[in-house]
Amino acid sequence: MKLRSLLFVPADSERKFAKASGIGADALILDLEDSVAPGRKAFARGAVRDLLEGGARDWSFLVRINPLGSGLTLEDLAAVVRPGLDGILIPKVNGIEDVDLIANYVDVLEVATGAAPGHVKLLVVATETPAAMIGFSGYARKNQRLVAMTWGGEDLSAALGALTPRETDGSWTFPYQVARAQCLFAAGAAGAAALETLYVDFRDQQGLAESCKIARRDGFVGRIAIHPDQIATINTCFTPSDTDLDHARRVVAAFAAQPDVGTIGIDGKMYDMPHLIAARRTLASVGEGGSNG
């Protein structure tokens, strides 16, 4: 599943879905949670069910369900886990135990609906509750369905009673920088993709690009979007350049030519195993073989 750019779409808006489905996002996240009013939840579930029957597409079909404890989670899952669904985004996760519970529900529903066993993957918003912030070590106990983790500061800020999670210049205050870092580390431990959180000002393309460059530098491999206009910038920033790919190929080829050495010189610079792992990941991001090992 390619997860470079993921766009939120209210599940009860056919108009917004029609626009979003043709803009080049790697995945659409049909949202049953925050963007759907309580009185529209049942309608939204039915809309997702109908859209899942829409046939072939060149993007992954994801759904954000309502969180455990809302009383709506099982209804959401029963409506959307069926052939055509590629993944579920779980909000307000407290830890790996919540992931395991949802995975168990999905196991049963795939069998009941005739979906391919194991096809539906799980993504989590990993930092929205205080409990989540002290449960990150559990992700080292991997779940087979978990493929990506993202983070966010707004719900966590509200839960903590913070006046704001941001500095006057718009940057995150220290507690929420910690949340971002913890998500990145936990994703690494879980063997999952780390996805950067939303950039709220969809009109600020330059700011978005700068933020994406920093995210990619730090280890994030994609980003959530809230507006279609953000997708092209996100795709560009998280796609390796031709120069990046050529360099990665040279590193991989150099180690392949000398499999018994741990350090290799290329153009006067020394490269070792971490560089090889990074090169393989770069190539894998565009579908050119390679593992992390």
**pTM of the shown model:** 0.90
Instruction: Please state, for a pLDDT cut of 70, what percent of the chain lies above it.
Output: 98
Question: Domain tally for the chain?
Answer: 2
The per-residue pLDDT for 293 is 42
Nearest to 94 by CA among 126, 62, 71: 126
Residue 287 has pLDDT above 80, yes or no: no
Query: Which domain CATH number covers 179?
Result: 3.20.20.60
Same domain, 37 and 123: yes
What average pLDDT score do residues 68-91 get?
A: 97
Calculate mean pLDDT across residues 277-290.
78
Same domain? For 206 and 272 the reply is no
- Of 237, 255, 272, at which residue does a domain stop? 237
For β-strands 87-90 and 121-125, DSSP reports them as: parallel
Q: What are the tokens at 266?
A: 């290329």
Say if 171 falls within a structural domain.
yes
253-266 pLDDT per residue, tens: 999 998 888 898 89
17: alpha, beta or left? (left if phi > 0; alpha if psi -120 to 50): alpha
Q: Which residues contact 242 (CB under 8 A, 6 or more apart)?
A: none
14 shares a domain with 42? yes
Question: Looking at the structure, do residues 145 and 271 belong to the same domain, yes or no?
Answer: no
Q: Mean pLDDT score of the chain, rounded to an integer?
A: 94
Q: Are residues 156 and 272 in the same domain?
A: no
Residue 293 lies in a domain: no
Residue 199 has pLDDT above 60, yes or no: yes
Q: In this structure, are 152 and 270 located in the same domain?
A: no
State pLDDT tens for residues 104-147.
999 999 999 999 999 999 999 999 999 999 999 999 999 999 99
Expressed as residue numbers, the domain containing 216 is: 5-237
Are residue 204 and residue 140 in the same domain, yes or no? yes
- Give the burial string for 215-242 (b: 16+ CB within 10 Å, else e): bbeeebbbbbbebbebbebbbebbebee
Which of 237, 253, 274 is the endpoint of a domain?
A: 237
Q: Judge if 257 and 180 occupy the same domain.
A: no
Shared domain check, 233 and 251: no
Same domain for 110 and 125?
yes
- Percent of the chain residues past pLDDT 90, beyond the cut: 83
pLDDT in tens, 232-243: 999 999 998 889
Separation CA 112–CA 115 (nearest Å): 8
Buried/exposed code over 166-200 (b: 16+ C-beta within 10 A; e: otherwise): beeeeebeeebeebbebbbbbbeebebbbbbbbbe
292 falls within a domain: no
> What's the pLDDT tens digit per position in 8-50?
999 999 999 999 999 999 999 999 999 999 999 999 999 999 9
Residue 222 and residue 251 share a domain? no
Domain membership flag for residue 127? yes
Is the pLDDT reported for residue 161 higher than 70?
Answer: yes
Checking if the pLDDT of 274 tops 90, the result is no
pLDDT class of 289 with cuts at 50, 70, 90: low
Whether 263 and 178 map to the same domain: the answer is no
